[in-house]
Structure 1
Amino acid sequence: MPWTLGLMTGTVLDGNVDIAALDTDGTRIHAFGPWTLAPYGVDLGDLLRRTLAEARAWNFEGPEPAVFAEAEAALTRAQSAAVNAFLAQSGIAPADVTAIGFHGQTVLHRGPVGGRRGATRQLGDGALMASLTGIDTVYDFRSADVAAGGQGAPLAPVYHAALLDTIGAGPDSAVLNLGGVANLTWRDGAGTLHAFDTGPANAPINDWVHRHNGAAMDVDGALGAQGRVDEERLARLLTHPYLAAPYPKSLDRFGFEASMADGLSLPDGAATLTAFTACAVARALDRLPARPSRIVVSGGGRRNPTLMRMIGERAGVDVVPAEAVGWRGDAVEAECFAFLAARVLAGETYSYPTTTGVPQPTRGGRVARAGG
């Protein structure tokens, strides 16, 4: 069976690269293949955190920081090794893989504002990966959209639509991914996709917890459940202009930071940041032409029962994890880039006026051939 692989490392820096195999022509999902979360070493995680800090200081002004090249090579080699191990463990020969969809690591992203075009930077050397794996590699998925005037994000909606087709879902259902940032996809009755970043998801919560006790995240939402939401502060946070802005719109991981909870205790801060994410989802649903009654949730945030409960309560919708409808919640983003790689090879578009704000449906991606 010909497989396409997808790789994804989110902005939450959870120490994993997600790898998923998909049998797809870029239009339909024929079969879900094996998938895994392959952990990085601690050293690479530390390097990526330093790289993100330097990227923020750089802010697209002047020469790129030298650490970018170091991190790009390390990241590409680590993910290539993870791919080779995954194939060996899964019993898949490289010759049976059509392509790898290599998203890379986003280190900085800025949507267009006023007359200024957006900018985006993902680290990932497609040619090096093709060489190390012996498999054609599709990469740099966002640049063409940004160059055409789009937000460069989110890119998942066309895959979310294919997932919704697998369960026969209509406008009553939407897809919400809770990664570092939260993004929503909804398809109206005419088949038009509406999608945008709703606001933060795990990133501020993770950063808040890490700052206070060194943990990577609020495991099982325990701190958020113990804490008390500062409703007065939450009301102030909800006046942020991003939440009222029309879509399409997109966010960088640091668009909303853990400092929103400064001055609160660890549990109260976790609770307040969790509630803010939930309320941002509610505001996003209110902006759609019609409100779905069900949200199917992928991404790491679905493992936080406090966040899932707050979304249901504060957005007034039925909130279900991806697994409840037969999807693989940890694999969706990696599957997405397998799907997008297949679309690139087929010459199909994957970003649209109602998803990224690009003026017309747009193709993207670059292809590095294994043969050089």
Structure 2
Amino acid sequence: MKIVIVSDAWHPQINGVVRVLGITRRELTALGHEVILITPDQFHQMPLPTYPDIKLALFPYYKLSKMLRALKPDALHVMTEGPLGWAARKYCRRNGHKFTSSWLSKFPEYASMRTGLPTAWFYKWLIAFHNQAAQTMVTTQTMVEAARTIGIRRVVRWQRGVELKNFRPIPSEVFADYPKPVMLYVGRIAPEKNLEAFLDLNLPGTKVLVGDGPDLASLSKNYPDAVFTGAKTGDDLIEAYCGADVMVFPSKTDTFGLVNLEAMACGIPVAAYPVTGPKDIIGDAPVGATDENLAIAIKRALPMKSEDCIAHAKTFSWERSVQDFLANLVSFSEKQPHETKDVLTSSARKDQT
């Protein structure tokens, strides 16, 4: 099968969407499928306002249309709701093609934080985008329910996995000289990650933050007792996980949090808020703790056993993830579903503001 995937997120960005996209392409190719990515580096680009490290395609519709006409894919999947995603949606709507989409981040919350505009405005935009898709893929049952609640009509699961050959327990002395326990965060250093909630905690030990982002300079200045390492990849990232005592995930706006699975695969328990993503990954397993008081979650997670974390991570496979993805695809040549006007209900609008 020839599968085209359109994504506004791609290298050199380091985030969960890019990682999922890279692994999915690799696994699909190994199964004999032809996978073609359409990403911002193939277009004229502009920096994302307030986040200049992220480059977006500039006026991509004409070039993307030519690419899709030439490629004639068997299936088209749109990963993101950025300029490339909207251009692909527009092309399919104009030409009667079907596509699938992914809801992978709570963009309305991110946009509201950066602009001060009501979250409900961005949710209306998000709903309109995904209701043009034949199916919208989300990561967990909680996200299925959330999508249906706000008005996204055709929703299916696309489970996530973890690369167990890479993320595994190894000896690590990377944080050996720091006061214990070492409380690790891995991810973007950005406003939507709610990092001050972690950094403001008065707890013994050392807070270590791995990642880059627009808030790196200001947070490292304001919190001199915390350790900011910048981004890490490969063995350096694995050593960081394995050198920690607990993984702390303070975000309240992520839909999954792949880093939580990576930490567990390295034998590290997770502490987080009881929100979409962490609560779905942890469930009732003795591999982490969620609490509205993040300090309590950390204290509860610290004594949990590495072997339990590793065993739990093994229940999330990329093989299953890819099978989900393939099962959710639709024929590009089939007639596209008719789009109706999307309006948030009053109760959903109230929930999102």
Give TM-score, length-normalised by structure 2.
0.38
- Give the structure with the larger strand fraction: 1
Give TM-score, length-normalised by structure 1.
0.37
Greater radius of gyration (CA)? 2
